[in-house]
Every structure is written in C-alpha cells, then in structure tokens.
Amino acid sequence: MSEQIGQGEQTGTDGTESHDPKVPAAWAAFMRTGWADREAAVARREVADHAAARRARLAEMFPGERLVIPGGGYKVRANDTDYRFRVDTAHVHLTGNQTTDATLVIDDGEAVLYARPRSGRETDEFFRDRQYGELWVGKRPSLGELSEALGLEVRHADDLPAALGGGKTRVHRGVSASVDAAVEGDAGRDDELARVLSELRLIKDDWEVGQLQEACDITALGFQDSVEEWERVLQYGERWIEGTFFRRARAMGNDLGYDSIVGGGAHATVLHWIDNDGPIEPGTLVLLDMGVEGRELYTADVTRTLPVSGTFTPLQRELYQLVLDAQQAGFDAVRPGARFADPHEAAMRVLAHGLEGLGLLPVPAEEALDPESKVYSRWTLHGTSHMLGLDVHDCGRAAPEAYAQGTLAEGMVLTVEPGLYFQADDLLVPEELRGIGIRIEDDLLVTAEGHRNLSASLPREPDAVEAWMAEHRR
Ligand code: GLY
Ligand code: MN
Ligand code: MN
C-alpha cells in the first residue's frame, strides 16, 4: 500500500481537513512536477510613492529606533471558515500591502516588509492548504513581485523573528498575536507609536482624496441601485437594500467600509441598526447609512433618509428640514482653523432650538445647550463628526489635542451627520413623532477656502430627494 499523507489528522499543518480526500505519495509527487515558471512582471503601484513618504515622516519621529507594524492574518468566523481578510489600517497606510501575514519593520529609517511568499511547487501547500494554497484561494504575489509593486525591500516572513532581537523596539500591538508575543512590551512607548500612526493619517494627500472621492462616487451608485430596486425593497424589506448595496461595493470597490445600516420605520432610531431584518413600509421613512470601501481601502460614510412612498408627509418634511438645517450649519463651520467641535456645536444649536420650537424641551434651548445640561441630546444622541479615511472612524488613537479638541486643517476629511431620533416608546414626545429617525451624513474635505462635499452627488434637499427617487425608482 502506498504511503498516505495526512491520514487520520483533523487539521494537518498543511491545511488538510477531516473531510478531504487522502493524498497518496504518488499523487503528491506527481503534483510537484511539470509547472511553468510563474514569476510575472508587475508594475509599481501608485500607492508606493505615497507610502514611502509616510514611512519617511514616521521614521523621522523615532530616530535610531525599530518600529514594527504588522498587517495581521486570517480571523476565524466558524470552524475552518475565516472572515474575508482585511489588512490593518496602519500597515496598509505605510506599505500599500494587502496580503496576509506581512509585517513592516522600519529600523532606524530602513524599511523592510517581511511577507509570506507564494507557495512553491516543491511542497504540498499549493494544492493542499485551504488557507494559503494557490489552487484553493488563488495566487499570492511572490516576494519579488511584492517588492516591485510596493517599491519596498521584501524578505521572507520566516526571517522576521531574527530581525526583532535586541534594540529599542516599538510594536503596533493588537494586530498580530505572534508579533505581540515576539517583542517584550512597553505599553507607554507602544501607545505612543499607535498615537503617531493615527495622527499621520489626519491630513490626506491628494491621492488619498482621490480615493475617498471614488469611494463616495461608488457609494452614490449603490444608493441609486437601491432606489432602482424599490419594488423588491417593498417586497423583501431592509435586507434587499443591504444586499443591493453590497453588490455594488464588491463589484466596484473592495467591500463595505462598515456593515450597512438600513433602518425602516422605527429601526431608524437605532443608531447602528445592522440586523436589517425589518420591512420597508409605505408612508414611513427609511434611514440608509452605507459606505463603499474602495480597492485601496479608503471608505465613504454616507447617510440619507428617504420617504418610502417617494414624497415626505408634511410632518416628515418639517423634521427632515430641521436636520438638514442643522447639517448645513455644521457644513458652514468646516474650514481650516475652526475647532473640530465647531460643526457639532453649530448643528446642535440648530437642533436644540428646533426641539424647543416643537415644544419638547423641558428647559429653554440655551439652557439645554449648556454643557452641564445637554438634555436636548435625548433626541440627538451622538456626535456630529468624525475623521474619515482608511477607517470609517479614522485616526482613532490620535491625541485629543490633535483631534477632538484640536483644529481643522486643509486636507482633513470628516463627516457631518446630525440626526433626530424619537424612540417608539418615548412618552415625552407626541405620538405622531414616535418611531421617527432622521440622519443626513456627508463626507467633507477641508480646503483652503472652506470645504468640499465629496458626497454631494447624492441629493440632500427634500425636493431634490423626491425628484431623485422619482427619477430612479422603477
Ligand atoms: N456609519 C457609522 C457612522 O456614521 O459613524
Ligand atoms: Mn459617520
Ligand atoms: Mn454613517
């Protein structure tokens, strides 16, 4: 009897599963022979120069030190099924690399990417490993191809441990358990690296702005697709919109930047409603908060609240206009030198006075706006803005003085997204308001003159929203 490889193993180191057919040595040996040379000429990617400039800025801030920035690997979804891989944000910002199991090391300014190579044909990996095998998941770039594409020195991932010994080393932690374990931690120094990596992304270069514009443009198409499918939206409910938008995201981008929020009726009052298992009913509003992540992983983050029947009722229109006025006040506050908090404060001022006009506030609007009160927030709930980029909530580890308590500068991209939310069981509002949620969200680039709305191709004015729905609904 011929030798059986992997027999009796649940999950072999070669990736073989209990349900996989046995691999006789004769088959394995035969598989390793007779293949053409697979090294391909690859073009240097556009991201390469931008990433090199970012690495240079980072290295300048930590002279003489070693910085370790892993990209991460697969995460289990269930048993032997992983989530689709999405590389770590700081890693892709500094390399452009989107392959799994790679780590960037910058040692006193010298950058090397340690990467997992394409599986060779001299072992069984290429036809047996369901995570990495070329015949299972497709061809990885070779180390040479990766180096050409990214304009970086690339070495084998097996050489990484040797590169981490000795010397003053900081690690971007929480991305790779094996890299975290390989270097003794100094929480303070590592936190400082995480802060700097976040702050490096606060100002977008022109190429990044182009990527964000493209993500917004594809996102607008995804919203339009949903309206074009309105008959089936009415038939199947929220998930038809979720699925329709996802198709556009995958067809033209990389993925969704975050799980789509599709809130029909009272679901719109749940800020991150991603169950999306409800109906879409005539006469109600539906809140769509959806963003495409483009091929270079920059994401849009856009919200529109649409009248399901195609026209707003007078009450819906009045509330919608109030949120729109608040958003416009937020827009008007976005310019270089303004405080990050200014758009929020401007939008909340409009909403608090609007809520006072509706007779809902227990105190005058100006009193409710006092930072020690904020009682109006029962119906506004969240902040108005966040940075946007490779992460939907970008630059999350930046220091407060550089971000939340800082000032806006040319090249920053942020959302402006006020909302009003009247919960279905809120006894402090009239019955006709209960179960209404409205948010309008756009993505603004801070320019020398003030700002540019990257998501302006989707209408915001109520008349324009109705006209756009009438144009695209079939
Ligand atoms: N989509 C999440 C947010 O708007 O922040
Ligand atoms: Mn947002
Ligand atoms: Mn959003």
Residue found under tokens 């329709």: 244
Domains in the chain and their CATH numbers?
25-199 (3.40.350.10), 206-472 (3.90.230.10)
User: Hey, whose CA ends up nearest to atom 4 of ligand 1?
Assistant: 301
**4 pLDDT more than 80:** no
Query: How is residue 362 annotated by DSSP?
Result: S
Atom of ligand 1 nearest to the CA of 441: 4
With a CB cutoff of 8 Å and minimum separation 6, the contacts of 81 are: none
Question: Residue 236: pLDDT band by 50, 70, 90 thresholds?
Answer: very high
| Cβ contact 440:418 at 8 Å | yes
14 C-beta closer than 6 A to ligand 1: no
Which tens digits make up the pLDDT trace of 126-154? 999 999 999 999 999 999 999 999 999 99
How far does the centroid of ligand 3 lie from the alpha carbon of residue 30, in Å? 53
Band of residue 16 on the pLDDT scale cut at 50, 70, 90? confident
- The Cα–Cα gap between 227 and 470 comes to 9
pLDDT, the chain, mean:
96
Query: What is the model's pTM?
Result: 0.96
**Nearest Cα to Cα of residue 271 among 372, 377, 352:** 377
Residues 184-211: pLDDT tens digits? 989 999 999 999 999 999 999 999 999 9
Query: 382: Cβ below 6 Å to ligand 1?
Result: no
Q: How far apart are CA 169 and CA 297, in angstroms?
A: 28
For residues 82, 88, 94 and 95, what is the CA-based torsion angle, rounded to 10 degrees?
0
Residue 9: pLDDT over 80:
no
Ligand 1 center to residue 441 CA distance, Å? 8
Nearest C-alpha neighbor of 363 from the set 376, 377, 348: 376
- Which range (9-18, 92-101, 169-178, 293-302) has the least confidence? 9-18
pLDDT in tens, 30-85: 999 999 988 899 999 999 999 999 999 999 999 999 999 999 999 999 999 999 99
Under 8 Å between Cβ of 233 and 288 = no
Would you say the CB of residue 394 lies under 6 angstroms from ligand 1?
no
For a substitution probing ligand 1, which of 223, 274, 303 has the most ligand atoms within 8 Å of its CB?
303
Find the mean pLDDT for residues 233-246: 98
CA of 70 to the centre of ligand 2 (A): 27
pLDDT band at 15 (very low <50, low <70, confident <90, very high): low
Starting from the edge strand earliest in sequence, which strands make up the sheet with 442-446, in order?
413-416, 442-446, 451-453
Query: How far is CA 376 from each of CA 238, 332, 356, 367, 382, rounded to the nearest angstrom?
Result: 29, 22, 9, 10, 11
Ligand 1 atom closest to the Cα of residue 439 is 4
Residue type, position 168, single letter: K
Query: Which residues on adjacent β-strands are paired with residue 67?
Result: 106, 170
Q: Measuring CA to CA, which residue among 432, 198, 146, 218 is closest to residue 316?
A: 432
